Structure 1
Amino acid sequence: MSSSGAPTRSSYDVVVVGGGHNGLVSAAYLARAGLSVLVLERLDHTGGAAVSAPAFRGHDVRLSRYSYLVSLMPEALMRDLDLQVRLESRTTASYTPTSRDGKAGGLLVERPEGPATARSFADLTGGEEEYAAWREFYADVADLAHAVAPTLLEPLPGERALRDRVDPDIWRDLVERPLGEAVERRFRDDTVRGVVATDALIGTFASLHDPSRVQNRCFLYHLIGNGTGEWRVPVGGMGAMTDALAAAAGRAGAELLTGAGVSAIRPTGEGADSGAEVTFHAGGRDHVVSGRHVLANVAPWVLEILLGGVEDAATKPEGSQLKINLLLDRLPALRSGVDPAVAFAGTLHLAEDYTQLERAYADAAGGSVPTALPGEVYCHTLTDPSILGSAAGSGTHTMTYFGLHTPASLFADPARREAAKAEAVARAIASLDEHLVEPLASCVARDADGQPCIEAKIPQDVEADLAMPGGHIFHGDLEWPWAPARARLDTPAQQWGVQTAHDAVLLCGSGARRGGAVSGIAGHNAAQAVLASR
């Protein structure tokens, strides 16, 4: 049931704070197990960052406004919840336009890779060695993915147990040493190095040589989904995924309450007698409900405030991305002559040569919007035209741009925020225009007011829209998807990586260990911890 009124009871087995996709996964699993479940969502709709919506007045095209592709969601989870969602493979994995010695070219990676991919590597790099290195590297990555992926819906494996199942060289390259070392050792070409490295920087602000290896963890999460790391397109847009999850939770008997903003969580009791009270505002008045368990589908930094802590600016996460949604009247032609329907069907890399990535990081770390702004582009509608609405068949396409190395600090000054945002958007578009026959602006559709159909979101916008602190799309730095040595694994919550300082309060969102991206893994694991503690 979904409503914007009042809860139907004062006490539940489980109260889920936040109706994003992970909260809906938890609710569906727990309600199917016979528990009473209330989901509280402050917005007037569920889905969090995984939603589809019209973005431009006068156009009924439904864009995946924030999250836009699916990789990590396990197929077993989709089967468990009988999710009626189709995920389509993109025919192109990636295309990287290049300009060398005044000649326009590009690196094409097909899905699956075939002769055209091999020729593209040879044309760019002048031989077969780089493609051989590419295939060897990703075979090694696949070995690690095949070891990790099956554990994501199980209690946390120990680090040593996983390490012993993987070749020691790839464990060293991806886990023990900064990723930049392996990229520089295993590849020679600057463009190839950059294409490999970008998966380490999506939503993560770091150098490839950062000693914390946060970039390694980001890379791993982008490459282990279902053992393949393939990023697929949800037919109907990202909202189709969360609509299916909400339906699954509702069918199981969970109560979904929208327009319900939570203001406090107060743990009660200890051990077997523990629980929590949740205060929220809905239907024009305040309410208090109790739960044997409270699952927090909010960032840990936000949870600390709801538990009565202070807003500690020093520990607040900082997001680092620029998301631009566009509506095009037609696809632009590229200088390389490649078919735009091929180039834009997968991930099109811009200003993402390895040296460009490191230079952009240095620029941003120094407080400047990178001169050559790295980012990537793809067109959802080349795989799934169903989101076009009345524009279907007209040549119209959506275009999504995701920019790297644009930390929230670049837009921190309110007096300069709009100017800095405009500068970042201009540099993002310029990075694409460099490779086009005609400027992108000539292809952009107009809304009902005659304005270009361009919508940009910096980290501050993401925070304002979705309450993700600092606009951090992972709710904070990602953690390794296993238990570190000497970790305490005494309770079900610890064993599933969803524990907090309070027995009755568990993390079920991206801030849990094995959280991040649209995966549902954290929601599943929090639900399993609740069921194991009964």
Structure 2
Amino acid sequence: MPAQHSARHIHDAVIVGGGHNGLVAAAYLARAGRRVLVLERLDHTGGAAVSARVFPGMDARLSRYSYLVSLLPRRIVTDLGLRFAVRKRTVSSYTPAHRGGRDTGLLVSGDESRDREAFERLTGSDREFDAWRRFQGMTRHLAERVFPTLTEPLPTREELRARIDDEAAWRAVFERPLGETIEEHFADDLVRGLVFTDALIGTFSHAHDPSLRQNRCFLYHVIGGGTGDWDVPVGGMGALTDALADAARAAGAEIATGHEVVSVATDGRTAEVGYRTADGEGTVAARHVLVNASPRESAALLGEEPPPEARAEGAQLKVNMLLRRLPRLRDRSVDPREAFAGTFHVAEGYEQLETAYRQAAAGEPPTVPPSEIYCHSLTDPSILGPDLARTGHQTLTLFGLHVPARLFTGDADHDARLREELLEATLARLDDHLAEPIADCLARDAEGRPCVEARTPLDLERDLRLPGGHIFHGDLAFPHVQDSRPADTPAGRWGVETAHPGVLLCGSGAVRGGGVSGVAGHNAAMAVLGR
């Protein structure tokens, strides 16, 4: 174990944090013959990409924090020989609505004729569907051109623009607030909201934000895999990080859990990493330190003030549920097994999203909280034990938008009450579209409690050290060099540099970090190897 190491034994790389990016970096470096040590604070690897039996006595392995896979390049799976697979969802999304005195909705299945009919039934014409097809064509083009660059050295802004080779697409995403493009393409409020939600997952913003943080989030959500598809990890998200840990160990990397890194000191040539365990403290030396934590945490380890851009604020409510059965819908034209097979959108109309943002920005909880829901067990029943699967149980994971950390004070009683109020309000908006309350469908755990848990940004900060509960460690960056000059160091060329040679970012705070992708880990390893 690391406690037995001394500073005289220099590792080629010490990796701070055993989340998925740290494990990717460890596996690549160890396979290249480097001496690698991973130090992880918790008693398990995986970070936010884990599967857990959340409810006592219930044999259901939920992807507890991160849910779906889109940005993980196939190259990483192949290079590292991972035994890991994803499955396509049979439906893209369902968005319930109340129109003309009737309960209806928009089911996007991916079948062109069926989708055209669904758009016409909702909006009364085929205009929105034709606009949808044109818009999806634009995002597919971006995906095909941009996604392959994520595992290459950073292009300059002009190089990426030339690679995209579509000025309208470039301006729509890289230069103009996304709301302008959405409003030019679409007239229907529900369709506008459906498009815009991809700009808000993990990002507190609005459609006309001049900073374009919403555009950056949108870009990463539509380019994954070169298609923009969001897939279900077979066996839950923990299946990926378990496979990564196995690959790293098989290649010779050492992984030490229960080791909290507390300091990093560097002279530019080597570094000394201080850590703490239940048994005491120790140090290890390394030629490179790869920090699989936020830029804010990296600065703290180095004893520095974090840069202004390292400030972060998460803005989501994460809810895990186990159901005895799927609920019936008010919209009887749709089978619940189809409606919940994709992304089930709740209160995510364009104006609803704007209203919720304005309320939250002013420090008030949204009166109509927007959210989206995923039922992974419909696509991958293996996450359920045999008894649960046989009796029709299903998992639901809910991602609530516009719940910024600023709403919480740090006072335990206040924050617990607010969490319960937000959970109640969020589930009530889901109930608006159900023929029966979701509470009636919840399973009960071994102690008789409803199988539902909620996590706020402050919970994620406490549990996972996510700054402000921000799931991307901070605002995402466009995937190009951040100024007009080509980078002049390996770390700069790969978008993983810090102010200290030999100390690299390998987590979501790196350029092209964010999401379950492994890209930052891959790129940090490539920088160390000089590739």
TM-score under structure 1 length normalisation: 0.96
Q: Distance in 2 between matches of 1:483 and 1:529?
A: 15
Residue 439 in 1 paired to residue 437 in 2?
yes
Preserved contact between residue 310 and residue 474 of structure 2 (Cα < 8 Å): no
Residue 364 in 1 paired to residue 364 in 2?
no
The residue aligned with 2:52 is 53
How far residue 113 of structure 1 moved from its aligned partner, in angstroms, is 2.8
Preserved contact between residue 369 and residue 423 of structure 1 (Cα < 8 Å): no
* Pair 174,311 (structure 1): closer, same or farther in 2 beyond 3 Å: closer
Unaligned runs of 5+ in 2: none
Equivalent residue pairs, number? 526
The residue aligned with 2:427 is 429
Residue 529 in 1 paired to residue 527 in 2?
yes
Q: Distance in 2 between matches of 1:150 and 1:509?
A: 19
The residue aligned with 1:221 is 220
Q: For residues 411-452 of structure 1, what are the alpha-carbon distances to aligned partners after superposition, in whole Å with 9 as ceiling and x for unaligned? A: 125142111111110111011100000000000011111111
1:15-94 correspondence runs (5 A): 15-94=14-93
Residue 331 in 1 paired to residue 326 in 2?
yes
How far residue 147 of structure 1 moved from its aligned partner, in angstroms, is 1.1
Report the residue type matching 2:262 in the other structure: S
The residue aligned with 1:208 is 207
How far residue 4 of structure 1 moved from its aligned partner, in angstroms, is 8.8
The residue aligned with 1:248 is 247
Q: Distance in 1 between matches of 2:388 and 2:2?
A: 33
The residue aligned with 1:305 is 300
Q: Distance in 2 between matches of 1:73 and 1:246?
A: 16
> SS of the counterpart of 2:403?
strand
1:68-467 correspondence runs (5 A): 68-110=67-109, 112-165=110-163, 166-268=165-267, 270=268, 274-282=269-277, 284-310=279-305, 316-337=311-332, 338-389=334-385, 390-414=387-411, 415-467=413-465
Preserved contact between residue 10 and residue 289 of structure 1 (Cα < 8 Å): yes
Report the residue type matching 2:526 in the other structure: Q
Report the residue type matching 2:250 in the other structure: R
How far residue 392 of structure 1 moved from its aligned partner, in angstroms, is 2.0
Q: Distance in 2 between matches of 1:15 and 1:448?
A: 42
1:510 to 487, 499, 508: 508
Q: Distance in 2 between matches of 1:441 and 1:32?
A: 49
Higher mean displacement: 96-105 or 507-516: 96-105
Report the residue type matching 1:138 in the other structure: Q
Q: For residues 318-341 of structure 1, what are the alpha-carbon distances to aligned partners after superposition, in whole Å with 9 as ceiling and x for unaligned? A: 101000000100000000011010
How far residue 314 of structure 1 moved from its aligned partner, in angstroms, is 9.5
1:475 to 473, 476, 481: 473
* Pair 223,258 (structure 1): closer, same or farther in 2 beyond 3 Å: same
Report the residue type matching 1:245 in the other structure: L
Q: Distance in 1 between matches of 2:9 and 2:282?
A: 9
Identity value in percent: 56
Preserved contact between residue 17 and residue 298 of structure 1 (Cα < 8 Å): yes
Q: Distance in 2 between matches of 1:115 and 1:486?
A: 45
Q: Distance in 2 between matches of 1:315 and 1:231?
A: 28
TM-score under structure 2 length normalisation: 0.97
* Pair 177,344 (structure 1): closer, same or farther in 2 beyond 3 Å: same
How far residue 373 of structure 1 moved from its aligned partner, in angstroms, is 0.6
How far residue 180 of structure 1 moved from its aligned partner, in angstroms, is 0.4
How far residue 11 of structure 1 moved from its aligned partner, in angstroms, is 2.0
Report the residue type matching 2:296 in the other structure: W
Q: Distance in 1 between matches of 2:5 and 2:455?
A: 34
How far residue 282 of structure 1 moved from its aligned partner, in angstroms, is 2.5
Q: Distance in 1 between matches of 2:316 and 2:485?
A: 32
Report the residue type matching 1:160 in the other structure: E
Q: Distance in 2 between matches of 1:521 and 1:501?
A: 21
> SS of the counterpart of 1:27?
helix
Preserved contact between residue 156 and residue 486 of structure 2 (Cα < 8 Å): no
Q: For residues 65-87 of structure 1, what are the alpha-carbon distances to aligned partners after superposition, in whole Å with 9 as ceiling and x for unaligned? A: 00010000001111101111110
How far residue 114 of structure 1 moved from its aligned partner, in angstroms, is 2.9
Unaligned runs of 5+ in 1: none
* Pair 4,341 (structure 1): closer, same or farther in 2 beyond 3 Å: farther
Report the residue type matching 2:139 in the other structure: V
How far residue 497 of structure 1 moved from its aligned partner, in angstroms, is 0.4
How far residue 5 of structure 1 moved from its aligned partner, in angstroms, is 6.6
* Pair 7,191 (structure 1): closer, same or farther in 2 beyond 3 Å: farther
CA root-mean-square deviation: 1.5
